A and B are shown apart, each in its own frame.
Chain A
């Protein structure tokens, strides 16, 4: 467990030491996850319950957001393309934007807000009310039950939510394009799939796995390490969202570089 560094033990400075100690703790937390995930007992029921919470319960919010993103992005892109008479390229432009970046990013950010905060708050309140300690006493592995199940559920549900978001966002874009450019559904989807490649879908799915893993892991880490009573719970939930979002953007940047590397092969 990370504690406040002592004044006497200060190495580089209080804040810097705290940062690196936090990194070490995070590393240990992730390491423990990979140590625990392969071995029984497997908490299938808890994983399913978390999948329901993370996936199914997020679906309405994700669908609505995806649809709005599709409509708005199409509408905002039209004037730029219309300037040089290329509105027929809207499906291709939206397809690239949604599949490559916006679908995964919007889903991950929404999930970071909804799921990350909920995991952080849930585990944090369990921590401050010593329920986790009670689980240890009753011979239940709290890490496996609480952390592994949530991280697994988040890791597998986010890519599926991304697929839904992509689909719904493209539908939203189609509605807008159909009423403005009178493009049929089949023509729209032919143009959509003409613009993307297998690499786009693969990279989108892989980075969605990382996004899901990050959201689950950050939420659990912040909740598992929350302190200072109810105030700590709120802080854990808040920092879980902020940290998850920050890491999602970093991962997006890295995935862009990696994907471009493979694209040029």
Chain B
């Protein structure tokens, strides 16, 4: 009897643990697949669902927010998808959000991705229909890829012709690569270009230094640009220079008038400069004067040894020597 009770208790515990495993599994599965959360129904109509199945996930911003509930044909050849979206996520999905079909990995399951939606547009509600955006068609991708392949073949063929011509020394590049003289010139040209570049660089550097100096505090340019006092002073100087210029103009006019007077013979200087007769006369006078001066010099030299003046000259010489 006691043994029977023991067996009953053991079986009871065994069954209980089994049921706990089952219930835990169901609750975990339900929680993970959002089976027990309050949800709303949202629809989208696609031309092609690409193998989407009931139970596939619905993602929004990379987060699973629901599952595909039903897949029905719609209209002529379209497919209507009914999605269960958890109520907690509906405030983030706007009425103008779009739905597209994607994959949760390179070879993963098909999923519906909801994206977009303007902030000012109200949130989606039960029974709303989202705009379906057709996913990238693999066939079309392959077609584009094939077209790219053809283009690549064409490009490589052209390249083949080009490289053949270059190898044979045809064209400028071919000549550069095969003609040693041209290559030498090209090298020289490159050398010149390099030197020019170095000079340009140095010039730029010097210009930079110069501009630095111009901008240096207390410098002329800086003062000119930034110091209002200097500018006012400069303006005054310019005004004074203008006045001086006017005076110089006036003086130049006077000089001009005077020089014009010198060309005429109605005045003393003009007559001195222009009258030849007077010049001859003056020359003769100057000659007489010179002769007179020589004679006078001789006379004065004679006076020096005259007994009447000899003492006075000796006194002067003595004073000069001291």
Name A's B-contacting residues (CB within 8 A): 45, 48-49, 51-52, 55-56, 59, 84, 86, 156, 159-161, 163-164, 166-167, 189-190, 193-194, 196-198, 201, 205, 265
Contact = CB atoms under 8 A, between A and B. Distances in A.
B18 interface: yes
Interface stretch (B4-12, B74-82, B231-239): B4-12
B32 interface: yes
Interface residues of B, number: 23
A84 B22 CA distance: 34
B261 to A, nearest CB: 112
Nearest to A192: B28
Given A190-B32, A201-B25, A160 B15 contact: yes
Given A52-B10, A56-B11, A163 B4 contact: no
A84 B7 CA distance: 51
A205 B30 CA distance: 17
A189 B55 CA distance: 19
Contacts of B7: 48-49, 52, 56
Interface string B1-35: 00010011011001101110110011011101101
A163 B22 contact: yes
Interface of B: 4, 7-8, 10-11, 14-15, 17-19, 21-22, 25-26, 28-30, 32-33, 35, 54-55, 107
Given A48-B11, A189-B28, A205-B22, 20 more contacts: A51-B11, A51-B15, A55-B11, A56-B7, A56-B11, A86-B107, A156-B15, A163-B22, A163-B25, A164-B18, A164-B21, A193-B28, A193-B29, A193-B33, A194-B32, A197-B29, A198-B33, A201-B22, A201-B25, A201-B26
A156 B19 CA distance: 11
A189 B24 CA distance: 12
Contact of B29 (A48, A84, A201): A201
A49 to B, nearest CB: 6
Contact of B35 (A86, A164, A198, A265): A198
B14 A160 contact: yes
Contacts of A160: 14-15, 18-19
